Amino acid sequence: MTISKGDRLPSTTFTKMTENGPEAVPSEDYFAGKTVAIFSVPGAFTPTCSAKHLPGFIDKSEALKAKGVDEIACTAVNDAFVMGAWGKSAGADGKVTMLADGNADFAQAVGLTMDGSKFGLGTRGQRFSMIVKDGVVEELNIEAPGDFKVSSADYLLEQL
């Protein structure tokens, strides 16, 4: 079942890269008491994700925060090492938190997986964005397969 506006995010665990290596990030702790703009991409270092999706949120990070967003997060079904390297290469440090969903636990829990096996990618998260306030989904924007429109930073900014 796909998550909807008004639903509480399910309890899962992300992983983020830190100076001391990979660190578990329980979702209930991460989203508690703050407003988070989170977006999902099918994969780190993939064309649309690297050329448009992540850079858009990096570029609009100050504007999103000026509209009440406490934190911006990117998630993908990749490991923390890949997400950390991608964030570093894209200049996301201090602007976008890179949350690895290595086993697709989050993507499955919110019902937003896709089958990328014909491209050798296996199970991945769909492209989407959300505004989450204190663990509750306030806005949810799910892309049609192959599209990049409603999950962009610009679109999310208009919703705030």
Distance CA 85, CA 80 (A): 8
Of 49, 76, 83, 104, the catalytic one is 49
Query: How far is the CA of 88 from the CAs of 34, 73, 83, 92, 99, in angstroms?
Result: 24, 14, 9, 6, 13
Q: Please confirm, yes or no, whether 74 is among the known catalytic residues.
A: no
Q: Which residues pair with 139 in a beta bridge?
A: 131
Active site residues: 49
